Amino acid sequence: MGGALVAKLVAQRIALGILLLFAVSVLIFAGTQILPGDVAQSILGQAATPQALENLRRDLGLNDPAYIRYFRWLGGVLTGDFGTALSNGRDIASALGDRLWNTLFLAFWAAAVSVPLAIVLGLLAVRYRNGLVDKAISGVALASTSLPEFFIGYLLVLVFAVKLQWFPGSSTVYEGMAFGDRMRAIALPAAALTLVVLAHMMRMTRAAILNVMQSAYIETAELKGLRPFEIIRKHAFPNAIAPIVNVVMLNLAFLVVGVVVVEVIFVYPGMGQYLVDHVSKRDVPVVQAVGLIFAAVYISLNMIADIAAILSNPRLRHPK
Residue 167 predicted with pLDDT over 70: yes
Separation CA 38–CA 48 (nearest Å) = 12
**pLDDT per position as a tens digit, 62-73:** 666 777 878 888
**Using one digit for the tens of pLDDT, what is the confidence trace for 187-207?**
888 888 888 888 878 887 787
* Pairwise CA distance, residues 302 & 72, whole Å: 28
Q: Are 242 and 313 in contact (CB under 8 A)?
A: yes
pLDDT digits (tens, 9 = 90+) for 30-63: 877 776 666 665 666 666 677 776 776 776 666 6
CB of 169 closer than 8 Å to CB of 154: no
Q: What is the pLDDT of residues 279-304, one digit of tens each?
A: 777 777 888 888 888 888 888 888 88
Residue 225, pLDDT score: 67
Q: What is the dihedral of CA 268, 271, 272, 276, to 10 degrees?
A: 100
What residue ranges define each of the domains in the chain, with the CATH number in brackets? 97-283 (1.10.3720.10)
Q: In this predicted model, what pLDDT tens digit does every residue of 270-279 receive, in sequence order?
A: 888 888 877 7
Handedness of CA 280, 281, 287, 289 (dihedral sign): negative
pLDDT tens for each residue of 80-119: 777 777 777 777 888 888 888 888 888 888 888 888 888 8
pTM over cut 0.85: no
